[in-house]
Amino acid sequence: MKMRVHQATQDIHAIQESEKTIEGEVDEILSSHKGEKADLIPVLQDVQQKFGYLPEEVLKKIAKFTDEPESTVFGVATFYAQFKLAPTGRNIIRVCRGTACHVRGGARILREVETDLGIKAGETTSDLEYTLETVACFGSCALAPVMVENNRVYGRMTTDKVKRMIGRRE
Ligand code: FES
């Protein structure tokens, strides 16, 4: 019992430490801006670049810093595709949902990736290894069905290729 309490105390300290670190890093980012309304997007970009996403608490802090309502800051953060409100995986897999890919089995490819990763499109695996997204068209329709992993394009995908690619990394 004592051991468990000790472990829990250590966990709480670790969480507090990481929160302190994030806060320190956010303060550092904010200190390089003036806090004017025009700073909103550059600040969001800096935070996104630093953490890979925009934590909710940080968005509230940015609202105070730029003297904008929280709703405005959340609105901007959700409007632009470059901003993420949740952490993304180290690897990003994008499957095409466009017409050319669809008629050549794109839906099967997406289902296979979802099954192999155990997540749905728009989600990230719990170990933060993979994020799965869908795209309207990559502009590589001649290679349909298309899947992109970390900016590398894979054409004429089959479910077996998906299994090999994702299985290879397990
Ligand atoms: S429809 Fe899939 S790349 Fe264009």
Mutate to test the pocket of ligand 1, among 101, 156, 157 (most ligand atoms within 8 A of CB): 101
Residues of the chain with pLDDT under 50: 169
List phi, psi (to 5°) of 134.
-120, 155
Q: What residue spans define the domains of the chain?
A: 2-79, 91-167
Q: Can you give the pLDDT at residue 10?
A: 63
- Report which ligand 1 atom has the smallest distance to the Cα of 106: 2
Query: Which CATH number fits the domain 2-79, given the four candidates 3.40.190.10, 3.90.1150.10, 3.30.1370.10, 1.10.10.1590?
Result: 1.10.10.1590
Q: Can you give the pLDDT at residue 23?
A: 85
pTM above 0.85, yes or no: no
Q: Can you give the pLDDT at residue 2?
A: 56
Question: In the numeric block, which tokens belong to residue 104?
Answer: 């050549």
C-alpha of residue 109 to centroid of ligand 1, in Å: 13
CB < 8 Å & 24+ apart, contacts of 112-118: 112/159, 112/162, 112/163, 113/147, 113/162, 113/166, 116/162, 116/163, 116/166, 116/167, 117/93, 117/166
* pLDDT single digits (tens) 137-160: 999 999 999 999 998 999 999 999
Q: What's the CA gap between 20 and 4, in Å, rounded?
A: 24
Q: Can you give the pLDDT at residue 35?
A: 93
